């Protein structure tokens, strides 16, 4: 693994904090994702070897938790909720508008590298549906028009 020295130091500091090495899987994955942008199969195997566990035990964590990614994303990460409340309130139309504005496809990095748009299973804001996260900022009570405004703001920030 080609990790930054500070990432390796973070990993080495994390392992002794746990009574069993396998308990350090998530902190190690977070550190690697922060460093590399995603968790590759090579990274999962590296973590498994580092902790003395089977690679499947690492991959099961990577695939279970939605905050771990196996593919790189754009500079801005947009997650549109698709569960029942958001779907009924127009979440798919909001998502379609975002995809149209950034000329990209779902789960892909836009051509300019600026955004990745994905569906999220639940963003825990059903009362203000539809909702989406742009990076860590929650946007509520969305309409197609509000989605366009958010797109315009992201585009303006990218140019700045």
Is 122 a known ligand-binding residue? yes
**Beta-carbon contacts of residue 71 (< 8 Å; ≥ 6 apart):** 38, 107
Identify the CA nearest to 18 among candidates 55, 52, 42, 43.
Answer: 52
Is 95 a known ligand-binding residue? no
**Beta-carbon contacts of residue 32 (< 8 Å; ≥ 6 apart):** 1, 3, 7, 11, 39, 43, 46, 47
Is 151 a known ligand-binding residue? no
Q: How far is CA 141 from the centre of its chain?
A: 22
Residues in the annotated binding site: 81, 86, 122, 126
Residue positions in the annotated binding site for [2Fe-2S] cluster?
A: 81, 86, 122, 126
């Amino acid at each position: 693994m080609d990790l930054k020295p500070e990432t390796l130091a973070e990993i080495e500091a994390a392992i002794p904090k746990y009574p069993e090495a396998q308990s350090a899987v998530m902190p190690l994955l977070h550190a690697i994702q922060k460093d590399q942008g995603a968790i590759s199969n090579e990274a999962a195997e590296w973590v498994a070897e580092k902790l003395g566990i089977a690679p499947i035990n690492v991959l099961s964590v990577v695939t279970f938790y939605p905050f771990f990614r196996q593919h790189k994303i754009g500079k801005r990460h947009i997650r549109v909720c698709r569960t029942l409340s958001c779907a009924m309130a127009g979440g798919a139309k909001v998502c379609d508008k975002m995809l149209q504005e950034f000329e990209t496809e779902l789960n892909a990095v836009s051509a300019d590298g600026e955004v990745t748009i994905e569906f999220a299973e639940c963003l825990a804001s059903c009362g203000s549906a539809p909702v989406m996260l742009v990076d860590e900022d929650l946007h509520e009570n969305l309409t197609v028009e509000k989605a366009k405004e958010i797109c315009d703001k992201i585009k303006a920030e990218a140019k700045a």
